């Protein structure tokens, strides 16, 4: 059996061809909406205009002298160009001067973006015509008060300076927030290190909230977004090729409710138990490969099996001021608490990644010191695990977004 493993998101979306031995029983567990057709640019613009819970941008921005468009960064898969162009058309229709429209990349505590990255997210035309800034997590914030959980809300000063505020992002399952999207573009997106650290103290790396829309981190972020005045939010949903196949736009709480309900069904995938080999592929967020190293995917592996964490992108791994190790010195990032280790029931833990940096990678894949092995090619993996015996295998093509479902009804749907 031959399979095209999704890879190289935003770098040509070039899949990696992998061949399985004939005596292997292979299950490909795609999420329910994997093959949903992508939206056209016209459909994207129409869905943005048909806003949920608030006036369309062309009406809501009337009389405003400036506007900011917040976009997510290279660690997220959102194709921002088509939504951003639709937003700009509406802002110009509202009368906002073109020279007073700018972009801010919602880095949170991630490393900065460079021109190459902005072009991949927005295209050459927008990069040439509009001011674009990286969010600085350490400096230049406006304090706007405390949340009910006593989190100090400090937001990027250039975001706060705009009279109308729009944000573009993606809704999918998230291990901390339950789902990405909605207010997450503000906190952590354009918040200060002090604000983010306080918000992220509501969870630990061992807590797993994938698919749970009601977390303390999210409720606090929503309160912060309401306090700072986010006027309009766009959340896209992606198919298996990381193309926009659905979109929700409007008031950030109202659109998120609909986006969340849709995403909860869209990203469901069949849980396949008792496997000799589990391939958890991170296609949407390969810079944070361990987002695919979930309790659910690990539960598919029987004792003594091989777990393969796959994440292939020339971008490499994330740079993170909160969770990175930053070398051998202590304490590392502000909330650094150790790498994800190879589990005791795994005979082998293999990281299938063609572009990594030794040492810096361990925080975002599986700790090499715990016994994980890093390889660059599928042939090398086969040489390690193919001993000629039959094997039961599952491939989770987008494990970082999967909400795994072990119900018999769902198996029937997948069939």
Q: Whole-model pTM above 0.85?
A: yes
Q: Model confidence over 259-295: pLDDT tens digits?
A: 999 999 999 999 999 999 999 999 999 999 999 999 8
Burial class of 319 by CB neighbour count within 10 A (0 to 12, 13 to 18, 19+): middle
User: Which band of pLDDT confidence, cut at 50, 70 and 90, is reported for residue 414?
Assistant: very low
Gap between the Cα atoms of 371 and 380, Å rounded: 17
Residue 152 has pLDDT above 90, yes or no: yes
Residue 405: its pLDDT value, please? 79
User: Which band of pLDDT confidence, cut at 50, 70 and 90, is reported for residue 367?
Assistant: very high
Residue 208: its pLDDT value, please? 61
User: Which band of pLDDT confidence, cut at 50, 70 and 90, is reported for residue 211?
Assistant: low
- Rg of the Cα atoms in the chain: 21
Span 79-100, mean pLDDT?
A: 98
Residue 258 has pLDDT above 90, yes or no: yes
Burial class of 196 by CB neighbour count within 10 A (0 to 12, 13 to 18, 19+): buried
Residue 372: its pLDDT value, please? 97
Residue 327: its pLDDT value, please? 86
333 within 8 A of 320, measured Cβ to Cβ: yes
Residue 349 has pLDDT above 90, yes or no: yes
Crossing angle of the two packed helices 41-49 and 81-94, in degrees rounded to 10: 50
Residue 179: its pLDDT value, please? 83
Residue 408 has pLDDT above 60, yes or no: no
| pLDDT above 70 coverage of the chain, percent | 95
* CB neighbourhood size of 17 (10 A): 11
Residue 5: its pLDDT value, please? 98
Gap between the Cα atoms of 89 and 58, Å rounded: 8
Residue 413 has pLDDT above 80, yes or no: no
48 within 8 A of 87, measured Cβ to Cβ: yes
């Amino acid at each position: 059996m031959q399979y095209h493993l999704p890879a190289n998101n935003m770098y040509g979306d070039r899949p990696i061809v992998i061949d399985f031995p004939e005596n292997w029983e292979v299950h490909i567990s795609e999420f329910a909406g994997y093959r949903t057709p992508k939206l056209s640019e016209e459909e994207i613009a129409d869905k943005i205009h048909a806003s949920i819970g608030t006036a369309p941008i062309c009406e809501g921005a009337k009389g405003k002298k400036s506007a900011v468009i917040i976009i997510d960064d290279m660690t997220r898969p959102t194709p921002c160009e088509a939504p951003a162009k639709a937003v700009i058309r509406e802002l110009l229709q509202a009368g906002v001067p073109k020279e007073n429209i700018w972009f801010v990349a919602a880095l949170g505590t991630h490393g900065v973006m460079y021109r190459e990255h902005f072009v991949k997210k927005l295209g050459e035309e927008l990069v040439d015509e509009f001011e674009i800034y990286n969010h600085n997590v350490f400096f230049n914030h406006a304090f706007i008060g405390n949340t009910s959980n006593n989190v100090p809300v400090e937001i990027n000063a250039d975001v706060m300076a705009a009279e109308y505020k729009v944000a573009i992002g993606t809704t999918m399952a998230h291990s901390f927030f339950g789902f990405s999207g909605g207010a997450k573009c503000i906190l952590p997106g354009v918040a200060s290190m002090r604000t983010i650290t306080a918000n992220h103290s509501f969870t630990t790396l061992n807590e797993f909230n994938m698919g749970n829309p009601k977390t303390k981190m999210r409720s606090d972020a929503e309160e912060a977004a309401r306090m700072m005045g986010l006027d309009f939010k766009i959340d896209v949903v992606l198919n298996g090729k990381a193309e926009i196949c659905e979109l929700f736009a409007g008031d950030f709480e109202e659109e998120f409710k609909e986006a969340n309900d849709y995403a909860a069904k869209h990203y469901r995938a069949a849980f396949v138990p008792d496997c000799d080999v589990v391939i958890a592929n991170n296609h949407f967020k390969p810079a944070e490969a361990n987002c695919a190293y979930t309790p659910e995917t690990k539960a598919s592996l029987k004792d003594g099996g091989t777990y393969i964490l796959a994440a292939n992108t020339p971008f490499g791994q994330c740079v993170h001021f909160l969770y990175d190790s930053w070398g051998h010195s202590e304490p590392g990032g502000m909330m650094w608490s150790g790498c994800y280790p190879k589990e005791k029931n795994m005979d082998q833990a293999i990281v299938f990644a063609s572009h990594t940096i030794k040492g810096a990678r361990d925080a975002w894949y599986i700790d090499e010191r715990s016994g994980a092995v890093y390889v660059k090619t599928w042939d090398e993996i086969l040489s390690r695990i193919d001993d000629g015996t039959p094997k039961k295998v599952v491939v989770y093509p987008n494990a970082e977004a999967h909400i795994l479902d072990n119900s018999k009804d769902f198996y029937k749907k997948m069939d």
